[in-house]
Amino acid sequence: MCKRGKYVIIGILIAVCAGFTILSWLFFNKLNKSQEETVIYIDNNDTPDSVWNKATLGWRGHLINLVLPYKKVRTGRYVISPNIDILTLYRKLRNGQQDPILLTIPTSRTMEKLAGALSKKIMLDSLTLITAFKDENFCCQKGYCVATLPALFIPNTYEIYWDTSLESLMTRMQKENKAFWNKTREQKAKSLNLTHEEICTLASIVDEETANDAEKPIIAGLYLNRLHKGMLLQADPTVKFAVGDFTLKRIKGEHLRKESPYNTYLNVGLPPGPIRIASIKGLDAVLNYQQHNYLYMCAKADFSGTHEYAATFNEHKKNARNYIKALNARNIH
């Protein structure tokens, strides 16, 4: 063999070895050399280039894309673990092996606030969510109406994928709702002769009346007493909801006269639906209400957040006078 042929062969071998070395470095080099996990989010607007940039691969990402084309971008939340190599990350992204998040459903006062809170945790935007929540046809498909839809959501923490679709989210909420209404709770609901939605509605009022969990079964029992007697509930939180102002510290005549199906000073029975996402404590307080003869309640004059209870209107008037006196003393209007 001539010298020139040998040099060609040697050149080819060197090139092969160099190429192999480069590819080995490219694919098996550690990407994340820190001791902490990093997270990247890939949405519908991403391209292969932007994905590699998010993964801080830079020009190496473009080179990888030439060798192993990354044609379909898969949305999701991806955790980049310490010391992960580039080939493993490539496979993870290419195959859509995303990592779930923990999504907490908050006890939001409005569906707009719920939509806003969810959009900060998952890929769905708040406009998409609130549009669906306000759509009667959409709600009907889920077994609710716009007014009762808050009853679907059980405030808890769930493992879910960041890029979950609207349908998948609602299906998951229906599944969790069904799990919440187990046999024991179902039997208690039937003994109260109330639907799930009605229990959620009453629980939402109880939640608004107090943050003190120990008081909730007492308040639930009081409102159930009024319901059974056909009395107006006269629940101040429903007036705040009707007015659209939960910051009210003093309910006045103008507020009580607000025409709304949610104003329980004007309408007998429960309002059309929950006035917030009811808490599990509130729901269980209704299902395990305290039996007593109270029909009236008034916030304590010490502003502790708890209440004075009364079985007669005369007792209630005395408690109410003390509270009004305390409001005036603090110049609360």
Q: What pLDDT, in 10s, does the model give residues 221-243?
A: 999 999 999 999 999 999 999 99
pLDDT bin (cut points 50, 70, 90) of residue 95 is confident
Task: Using the CB atoms, write b or e for 1-24: b if 16+ within 10 Å.
Answer: eeeeeeeeeeeeeeeeeeeeeeee
Give the pLDDT confidence score for residue 15 in this predicted structure: 47
Contact (CB, 8 A) for 52 and 64: yes
Which residues, 6 or more positions from 87, have their beta carbon under 8 angstroms from its beta carbon?
27, 28
From 61-70, 157-166, 201-210, the region with the lowest mean pLDDT = 61-70
pLDDT mean over 110-121: 96
- Does 216 or 86 have the greater pLDDT score? 216
Contact (CB, 8 A) for 64 and 90: yes
What is d(CA 60, CA 49) in angstroms, rounded to the nearest whole number? 11
260 exposed, middle or buried (CB, 10 Å; 0-12, 13-18, 19+)?
A: middle
What is d(CA 272, CA 145) in angstroms, rounded to the nearest whole number? 10
From 4-8, 84-88, 252-256, 298-302, the region with the lowest mean pLDDT = 4-8
Give the percent of the chain with pLDDT over 90.
60
* Cα 90 from chain centre: 32
Contact (CB, 8 A) for 250 and 240: no
Q: Of the ranges 42-56, 153-167, 234-248, 303-317, which is most confident? A: 153-167
Give the pLDDT confidence score for residue 60 in this predicted structure: 57
Position 8 pLDDT exceeds 90: no
Give the pLDDT confidence score for residue 4 in this predicted structure: 55
Tokens of 332: 């609360």
Give the pLDDT confidence score for residue 86 in this predicted structure: 75
Position 126 pLDDT exceeds 80: yes
What does 53-115 look like in DSSP terms, one character per residue? HHTT-THHHHHHHHHS---S---EEEEE-TT-BHHHHHHHHHTT----EEEEPP--SSHHHHH
Q: Report how far apart the first and last C-alpha atoms of the chain are (Å, whole number).
A: 105
Question: H/E element holding 176?
Answer: helix 166-180
Tokens of 266: 């004007």
The mean pLDDT value of the chain amounts to 86
How long, in residues, is the chain?
333
At 192, phi and psi to the nearest 5? -85, -10
pLDDT mean over 8-20: 48
96 exposed, middle or buried (CB, 10 Å; 0-12, 13-18, 19+)?
A: middle
Radius of gyration of the chain (CA): 30
